[in-house]
A and B are shown apart, each in its own frame.
Chain A
């Protein structure tokens, strides 16, 4: 299963005037993999990710997402991916059910499919009794689990998570990662950016961006070996210290 490539970039670059936010990024991500995309603030993570999800046009280079070209087939890409932004991204003044209906509808699922999937999901999350509650009234941990479930509701090939666990307690974070593992197990590729180095340890492979360039890319174990460090934290600090750009 490790053989099928779902994300492939080749010297992908984004310039804003003279500023090179992302410089010749080249990497591959395999199907069903959990790929950690790390970097300090301002390293160019978000810019790179925006190009991958089709809301920012690359200045040069190539990228292929789920078999589609980022220049020509953005619409196809959008249909094949899920996305969860770092800001909590459900509508708080809609109920749990209405949110699922809305996002299901946006991705073109039929009402019957939405209905069945919603019931399955609510049962799995143990939210049956809260289906008609406003999302705003749920605890943050639940909101985040729900946001993730919504992002993969239409069974995308790849799900992009932008710092998904900010402000959540460790237990909920652990539960959140269980959901990520489950999604990956079901063949959904997970592309995740994070600031938490313990989370980096959970990833199959990790890339670390410094000043717009990918400086390291390997499994967490491989990286620790390569940099002769005890933890991912040490690896990250060693690389991040080389950074010349500020925030």
Chain B
């Protein structure tokens, strides 16, 4: 027991005295969360657009002023002919152009039919789609207002409610995603690097020759990183609550339980990595390429899993972060309880046990 405590203390000295790793350990999560929360957002706001109004009547002015007053668009320029449209896309950094036909209002009132064209820059297809939908929504809104006093023969009104995230904030998906990523990074990468470092400088050999049991060496290696990970979780949750305004809807205890299991899973992966390499650089590269990349690409955090080719969908199932992120969303944002997420929980417990057993076995084999 005293051995363990002495050794954990030593491990903290290593962490505290290395400014760079301290910065990575405690600063990175905050920076990542803020970047993913604020900068990299799937929402579109203040998007530059151009308008070509060939009619210049009451109806077009009405629509334009609605577009202008929405937070989504900034009218960057007003065009006077069709020829200018392409040029505007190329030089004006506009993402969308709106063209009203001539006699817009006249046609609308007398033939009950008129046309406007929405042109988008589809080099970013998702954004183009979103923007086009925004404009359609604004126009539809105006149309409904026009028909207010009239009795239409058949109408279907769709009423949309966005549950759990009514403002469609991007942070609702970045917070669980960043948690899945950061915990893996801190726990797996830093643990593997710190174990491999001891191999590099030769102290691991000395420890193995000492009466200290390998299991104690490993446990005392992971405990500090376990604690650092918990600090990170708390920081992330505080930021998400006070900066992004995303409170924890469900049980805090359940969220903690899931997180602790996920951290243990990541630590086991870290030990596993440390058994296959003996250089710090290699450990880092394996952690980044082998763990981080799949988490970002395949966990469903950046790209929806349902849209992936079947083979990638299947592969995504073996990524612990996928299940963790699903559960964090369920508990934190939807406020779901243990009873609804037990399957995911079982999967991740299974994975954790598997990696734990495998890594301990491999670590022992290395000693022979």
Contacts and interface: CB of A to CB of B under 8 A. Distances in A.
A83 B367 contact: no
Most interface-central of B3, B14, B203, B367 (chain A CB within 10 A): B203
Interface stretch (A27-35, A85-93, A179-187, A238-246): A85-93
A15 to B, nearest CB: 13
A103 to B, nearest CB: 8
A91 B367 CA distance: 21
Contact of A86 (B14, B202, B211): B202
Contact of A78 (B10, B13, B211, B368): B211
A78 B2 contact: no
B86 interface: no
B203 A89 contact: yes
Interface residues of B, number: 22
Contact of B210 (A78, A90, A98, A134): A78
Contacts of A86: 202
A93 B209 contact: no
B13 A94 contact: yes
B6 A105 contact: yes
A99 to B, nearest CB: 9
Interface in A50-97: 53-57, 75, 78-79, 81, 83-94
A102 interface: yes
A108 B209 contact: no
Interface string A133-176: 01000000000000000000000000010000000000000000
Contacts of A134: 17
A107 B211 contact: yes
B10 A102 contact: yes
Given A88-B202, A90-B203, A92-B201, A106 B14 contact: no
A134 B202 CA distance: 18
A102 B7 contact: yes
Interface residues of A, number: 31
Contacts of B202: 85-89
B145 interface: no
B207 A106 contact: yes
A216 interface: no
Contacts of A105: 2-3, 6-7
A20 interface: no
A87 B201 contact: yes
A106 B6 contact: yes
A6 interface: no
A127 interface: no
Nearest to B5: A105
A98 B6 CA distance: 10
A81 B209 CA distance: 8
A55 B211 contact: no
B6 A101 contact: yes
Given A83-B206, A106-B6, A93 B14 contact: yes
Given A55-B209, A98-B13, A106-B7, A91 B2 contact: no
Given A93-B18, A98-B13, A83 B209 contact: yes
A78 B201 CA distance: 21
Contacts of B210: 78, 83, 103, 106-107
Interface string B308-339: 00000000000000000000000000000000
B9 to A, nearest CB: 8
A87 B200 CA distance: 9
Contacts of A89: 201-203, 205-206
Most interface-central of B7, B211, B367, B368 (chain A CB within 10 A): B211
Contacts of B203: 89-91
Q: Kindly list the 3 A-B residue pairs having the minimum CB-CB distance in the complex, ordered from nearest.
A: A87-B202, A105-B6, A83-B209
Given A102-B6, A108-B2, A134-B17, 16 more contacts: A55-B367, A83-B206, A85-B205, A87-B201, A89-B203, A89-B205, A89-B206, A93-B13, A98-B10, A98-B13, A101-B6, A103-B210, A105-B2, A106-B212, A108-B211, A160-B209
11 contacts: A55-B205, A55-B209, A55-B367, A57-B368, A79-B211, A87-B201, A90-B203, A91-B203, A98-B10, A102-B10, A106-B207
Interface of A: 53-57, 75, 78-79, 81, 83-94, 98, 101-103, 105-108, 134, 160
